């Protein structure tokens, strides 16, 4: 058994808590990372209580000074967390009372740990969203600048992982950029629903003290107070929504990772990743393994699991708060950590990619990737597309038999399949002619790639300020 019952709720209990139960139900082992946000919320709460006359100014000042001192102790590593005090809230409140005396006990007036933790998580997640949004901006910028540099680099485009039509490497990179841009839009949309203040809902029904929740919301930078006290303490939709965003983001990073892994292989040899993003083999000295994209690809399942965990956690909870909700933090925290790590790796790695232009071009030259261009040429000369499709199919079969691409055949050989083919056919059979012909918005022509890159830059400049907030080296670590 523990030595005594918990001071925050033990008045009606006749025996101490079982020691195992105390450890089993405690959350201080993982929610201690919320200390800054818990203190920030408490300072705002104390400030509001003084404004409405519940606290005297000198009591407010003592509480705020004490909280700042505790925060400094935590950051110096001078706090030992107590399992018996259960969570970050009671650990801080107990130390506050030790430091400033009985007035510390007045801090909890008009609030509950239910609305307190809901506020802490939203403050924490809002800060993390701003950091992640800035990393998404950095990744997008890296993709855009690399795409601009590689606007004329020809590579094969694939369907079913079979050579389909030539595209530019820049066009392919901007496809990745579009994925990440949608993810960033989803994240910023999620932020709006995170930015609602639960504090003041108390345990579930509000409080009889004359609090002013609008004051607290303004002090903490929330858009508004939550409308309903029952919903305020029990809602975890925002955490699920963030984890859904993270799942989509990791799915996109995983698709990118798969292509990076393929492209670095000897069979493709399209790109080179710097050594600092790769590892070697303990037995095969020639190996250079693309561990960063492989690991990001693997972490996708981890984030998917957290999404399912949170959905399952909430699926049958009655209103309002239940102890089940203690289980929301570890999946959310790990999702945040995983997303930040994966984005930092990608934002650092993408600009350092070196394209192997000759290998990309040679791969595009193989596989009859300009066959559709020949069919389009025949259609412009009067053939129905289905007839043109058949003509080109016969030409491809001949090319396979001879081991030559369409552009390597003579005019006489091509005219064996259709006498509508003229000398100008080779203008459309070249790789450059093929990509240049797709000269419309969304197409792979180099001019369109550059124009698309500029529009993407403009869209980044139009983002709200918190999507650009600088990520310091300390934060990144």
pLDDT in single tens digits along all 477 residues of the chain: 555 555 565 556 667 778 888 788 899 999 999 999 999 999 999 999 999 999 999 999 999 999 999 999 999 999 999 999 999 999 999 999 999 999 999 999 999 999 999 999 999 999 999 999 999 999 999 999 999 999 999 999 999 999 889 999 999 999 999 999 999 999 999 999 999 999 999 999 999 999 999 999 999 999 999 999 999 999 999 999 999 999 999 999 999 999 999 999 999 999 999 888 887 766 776 768 899 999 999 999 999 999 999 999 999 999 999 999 999 999 999 999 999 999 999 999 999 999 999 999 999 988 788 888 889 999 999 999 999 999 999 999 999 999 988 888 999 999 999 999 998 998 888 899 899 999 999 999 999 999 999 999 999 999 998 888 654 434 433
What's the pLDDT at 475? 42
The pLDDT of residue 14 is: 62
Q: Is 472 a catalytic residue?
A: no
- Cα-Cα-Cα-Cα torsion 471, 133, 258, 452, nearest 10 degrees, comes to -110
Question: Looking at 4, 265, 281, 394, which residue is catalytic?
Answer: 281
Q: Is residue 1 part of a domain?
A: no
Specify whether 177 is located in the same domain as 284: yes
Same domain, 398 and 470: no
**Would 442 be classed as within a structural domain?**
no
Give the Cα separation of 327 and 240 in Å (integer): 13
- The answer on 277 and 344 residing in a single domain is yes
The pLDDT score that the predictor gives to residue 427 is 85
**Domain-embedded: residue 331:** yes
Within this chain, do residues 356 and 239 fall inside the same structural domain, yes or no? yes
Q: Domain span at residue 425?
A: 371-429
> Which of 63, 83, 109 marks a domain boundary?
109
Tell me: do 126 and 98 sit in the same domain. no
Q: Tell me the CATH number at 406.
A: 1.10.40.30
Angstrom distance (rounded) from CA 422 to CA 426: 9
Is 445 within a domain? no
The domain that holds 147 is classified in CATH as: 1.20.200.10
Domain harbouring 104, CATH code? 1.10.275.10
Domain count within the chain: 3
Residues 163 and 181 placed together within one structural domain of the fold:
yes
Q: Are residues 84 and 118 in the same domain?
A: no
The structure tokens 């693309």 sit at 290
**In this predicted structure, what is the pLDDT of residue 472?**
42
Domain end position, chosen among 85, 109, 133: 109
Same structural domain, 331 and 194: yes
- 164 and 156 Cβ atoms separated by less than 8 Å: yes
* Nearest-angstrom CA–CA distance, 68 and 83: 22
Does residue 463 sit in the same domain as residue 416? no
User: Which residue's entry shows tokens 């055949």?
Assistant: 409
The answer to whether residues 142 and 257 belong to one domain is: yes
Note whether residue 17 is domain-resident: yes
354 membership: H or E segment, kind and range: strand 354-355
The pLDDT of residue 206: 97
Which stretches of 123-235 are assigned E, i.e. beta strand?
A: 154-159, 162-168, 196-197, 224-225
Per the residue annotation, which of 14, 160, 316, 470 is the catalytic one?
Answer: 160
> CB of 65 within 8 A of CB of 101?
no
Closest CA to 290 of 259, 322, 249, 330: 259
Is omega for the bond preceding 320 within 30 degrees of 0, making it cis? yes
Asked whether residue 282 falls in the same domain as residue 183, the answer is yes
Known catalytic residue at 265 = no
Q: Are strands 162-168 and 154-159 parallel, antiparallel or unpaired?
A: antiparallel
What is the C-alpha separation between 62 and 103, in angstroms, rounded? 8
> Is residue 436 a part of any domain in this protein?
no
**Cα angle vertex 414, ends 411, 416, to 5°?**
115
Q: Which long-range contacts (CB under 8 A, 24 or more apart) does 313-321 make?
A: 313/236, 314/236, 314/240, 317/234, 319/204, 319/230, 319/231, 319/234, 320/114, 320/203, 320/204, 320/229, 320/230, 320/231, 320/233, 320/234, 321/114, 321/203, 321/204, 321/233, 321/234
319 & 410 share domain: no
Is 2 contained in some domain?
no
pLDDT at 468: 82
pLDDT at 368: 85
Please report the beta strands in 137-177, taking only residues with DSSP state E, as ranges in sequence order.
Answer: 154-159, 162-168
Give me the DSSP letters along 284-319: -TT--B-HHHHHHHHHHHHHHHHHHHHHHHHTTPPS
Q: Domain ends where: 109, 134, 160?
A: 109
**Does residue 273 lie within any of the structural domains?**
yes
């Amino acid at each position: 058994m523990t030595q005594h019952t918990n001071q925050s709720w033990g008045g009606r209990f006749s025996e101490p808590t079982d020691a195992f139960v105390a450890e089993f139900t405690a959350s201080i082992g993982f929610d201690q990372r919320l200390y800054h946000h818990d203190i920030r919320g408490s300072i705002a709460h104390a400030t509001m209580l003084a404004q409405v006359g519940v606290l005297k100014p000198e009591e407010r000042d003592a509480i705020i000074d004490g909280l700042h001192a505790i925060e400094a102790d935590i950051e110096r590593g001078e706090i030992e967390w107590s399992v018996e005090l259960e969570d970050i809230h009671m650990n801080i409140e107990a130390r506050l009372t030790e430091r400033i005396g009985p007035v510390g006990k007045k801090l909890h007036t008009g609030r509950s740990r239910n609305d307190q933790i809901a506020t802490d998580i939203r403050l924490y997640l809002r800060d993390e969203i701003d950091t992640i949004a800035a990393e998404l901006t950095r990744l997008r910028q890296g993709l855009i600048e690399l795409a601009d540099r590689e606007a004329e680099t020809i590579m094969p485009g694939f369907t079913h992982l079979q050579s389909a039509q030539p595209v530019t490497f820049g066009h392919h990179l901007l496809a990745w950029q579009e994925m990440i841009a949608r993810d960033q839009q989803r994240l910023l949309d999620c932020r709006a629903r995170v930015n609602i203040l639960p504090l003041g809902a108390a345990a579930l029904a509000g409080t009889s003290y004359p609090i002013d929740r609008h004051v607290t919301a303004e002090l903490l930078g929330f858009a508004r107070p939550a409308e309903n006290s029952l919903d305020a303490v029990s809602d975890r939709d925002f955490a699920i929504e963030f984890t859904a965003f993270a799942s989509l983001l990791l799915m996109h990073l995983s698709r990118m990772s798969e292509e990076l892994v393929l492209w670095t292989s000897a069979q493709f040899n399209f790109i080179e990743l710097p050594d600092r993003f790769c590892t070697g083999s303990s037995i095969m000295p020639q190996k250079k393994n693309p561990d960063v994209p492989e690991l990001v690809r693997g972490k996708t399942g981890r984030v998917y699991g957290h999404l399912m965990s949170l959905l399952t956690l909430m699926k049958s909870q009655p209103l309002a708060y239940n102890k089940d909700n203690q289980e929301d933090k570890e999946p959310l925290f790990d999702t945040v950590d995983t997303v930040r790590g994966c984005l930092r790796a990608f934002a650092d790695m993408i600009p350092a990619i070196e394209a192997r232009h000759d290998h990309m071009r040679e791969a595009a030259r193989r596989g009859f990737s300009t066959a559709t261009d020949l069919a389009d040429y025949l259609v412009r000369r009067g053939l129905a597309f289905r007839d043109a499709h058949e003509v080109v199919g016969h030409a491809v079969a001949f090319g396979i038999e001879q081991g030559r691409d369409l552009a390597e055949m003579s005019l006489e050989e091509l005219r064996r399949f259709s006498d509508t083919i003229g000398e100008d056919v080779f203008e459309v059979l070249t790789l450059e002619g093929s990509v240049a012909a797709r000269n419309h918005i969304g197409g792979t022509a180099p001019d369109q790639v550059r124009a698309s890159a500029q529009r993407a830059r403009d869209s980044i400049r139009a983002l709200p300020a918190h999507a650009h907030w600088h990520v310091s080296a300390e934060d990144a670590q």
